Amino acid sequence: MKPYIGVLALQGGVSEHVDMLKAVGCDTVEVRRPEDLNGIAGLVMPGGESTALIKLLVRWNLVAPIRTLAGTGIPIWGTCAGSILLSSEISEREHRVDQPSLELAPVRADRNSFGRQVASFQEDLIIKGLEEPFPGVFIRAPLLFPLSNSSEILSSVSEGVVFVKCGNIWLSSFHPELTDDTRVHAMFIRDAVIGS
Amino acid sequence: MSFIRDDGTWKVKTGHARMLKGGVIMDVVNAEQAKIAEEAGAVAVMALERVPADIRVQGGVARMSDPDMIKGIQAAVTIPVMAKCRIGHFAEAQVLQALEIDFIDESEVLTPADEANHVNKWDYKVPFVCGATVLEEALRRIAEGAAMIRTKGEAGTGNVVEAVRHARSVLGEIRKLQATPFEELMSCAKVMGAPYELVKYVHENGKLPVVNFAAGGIATPADASLMMQLGLDGVFVGSGIFKSGNPAVRAKAIVEAVSQFDKPEVIARVSAGLGEAMVGINISDIPANEKMANRGW
């Protein structure tokens, strides 16, 4: 049976994740309502604007159901804004922010950590578990500061951590869904969804 | 071991636009409005001196915004800040890049600076969005380096009819090109005045290589839902919010409508109790030489 994976679809890079998950052999559902979470074996929270996304998660009553899902051990992977939504603390490069989140991973996400859009970049990454470098795409990306020793760091750039695993919660500050390289999606499905 | 870092690439420009999908980008003229927009759930704000409705009424030459005003808005919000330059005014575009604006709108809402040429958008690290009324216009802008396309609509009218016309035209022509036999594509490119490679891309993929947003005349949650259901990727709202009776409430309602655009019961709920919408203008009441959508080609 194909793994059945939800993609949060309130705003952002949704179709790109759906296409990648299908390419690695998954069935997918776009999650806009709590009932869309029924029966999923994993959840992907895409990039977008984290300030808009957290408001929509609250508005459409998805906060508690996603927390419950995480508590039952269902793997959740957030990319860019998705990783910010999953972090326990949020800071921002220039501004003081008081932004709520799902608080599912002991990580401080520093928003726009590299700067504004002019500082967005591409850089190949060494990722633990992948043999060859992976094309990293960073767009107004956060840096991730793990707050617990039990977190497993999967990749870093010179400024800090960009890919970390906290139990069943995976955070990446870059966008594998914007490349045509399916290895990170395949790794999430193999290690977190099927392996768990 | 470290690898080469590349910035300002096509991937990070078009990727930024992709992350705005399913979102609402709001026109704001000061830091307070920007905060209201962010608080309502906007994915970005467009910093400009006057909203299109006021440009239309007050007339005169409409230019790039004052850098101080742009900096004030950048200091007020953490979401992307966009700003407009005049069509073909590459010096304004250079200034906006120096201000580290997140996206530049080369916009017909401002008075054009060049009637023949648009900005060469490949020269910039900052991505550009451009308006298009028909497919060939969209493909020309993409060939010049635009990382995002939007309908032109007829800005500042609160009347969605022109945005619908442009959306139906672009999406209809895409469907037509998809069905066109391969050997006719070169002839299509010649007739359209659009680059062959992009014509071929649309034929093969059934979509533009960049996201396509709605803009111009969107004033209500139902307007936003209409544009999303027609197949566009997100929505710009200009005068529709801050020219209405209760901007904060209307802004939030439009954001919520876009996130659940295909659920009429949601649109019905968020459309209630919004106060006065902006007063609209009938397109037939606008003299042809005052139509903004006719600027650029």
Q: What is the CATH number of the domain that holds A42?
A: 3.40.50.880
User: Residues B154, B286: contact at Cβ < 8 Å?
Assistant: yes
Give the one of A15, A97, A120 whose C-beta lies nearest to B16's C-beta: A120
Q: Measured between alpha carbons, how far is B254 from B22 in angstroms, rounded to an integer?
A: 11
Cβ contact A121–B100 (<8 Å):
no
Q: Could you tell me which residues of chain B have a Cβ less than 8 Å from any Cβ in chain A? A: 1-9, 11-12, 15-16, 18-23, 38, 41-44, 75, 77-80, 97, 100-103, 125-127, 255-256, 258-260
Residue of B18, B11, B67 lying closest to B43 (CA atoms): B18
Give the one of A32, A112, A133 whose C-beta lies nearest to B3's C-beta: A133
Burial classification of residue A62, based on how many CB atoms lie within 10 Å of its CB (0-12 exposed, 13-18 middle, 19 or more buried): buried
Q: Which domain holds residue A140?
A: 4-195
Residue with more model confidence, B60 or A128: A128
Per-residue tokens: B212: 């396509």
Mutate to test the interface with A, among B1, B6, B12 (most CBs of A within 10 A): B12
Burial classification of residue B35, based on how many CB atoms lie within 10 Å of its CB (0-12 exposed, 13-18 middle, 19 or more buried): middle
Q: Which residues of A touch B41 (CB under 8 A)?
A: 51-52, 55-56
Cβ contact B7–A139 (<8 Å):
no
Cβ contact A121–B12 (<8 Å):
yes
Question: What average pLDDT does range A56-70 have in this prediction?
Answer: 98
For residue A184, pLDDT over 60 is answered with yes
Confidence of residue B1 (pLDDT cuts 50, 70, 90): low
Question: What ipTM was reported for this prediction?
Answer: 0.97
Phi, psi of A90, rounded to the nearest 5 degrees: -130, 130
Active site residue A175: yes
pLDDT one-digit tens code per residue, A144-166:
999 999 999 999 999 999 999 99
Helix ranges restricted to H, A72-178:
81-86
Question: What average pLDDT does range A7-16 have in this prediction?
Answer: 98
Q: How many domains does chain A have?
A: 1
Question: What average pLDDT does range A102-116 have in this prediction?
Answer: 98
User: Residues A135, A121: contact at Cβ < 8 Å?
Assistant: no
Look at the alpha carbons of B288, B293, B295, B296 in this order and tell me if their dihedral is positive or negative.
negative
Q: Measured between alpha carbons, how far is A141 from B80 in angstroms, rounded to an integer?
A: 12
Residue with more model confidence, A80 or B53: A80
DSSP SS3 for B209: coil
Per-residue tokens: B285: 């009441």
Active site residue A95: no
pLDDT one-digit tens code per residue, B136-158:
999 999 999 999 999 998 888 98
Q: What is the pTM of this model?
A: 0.97
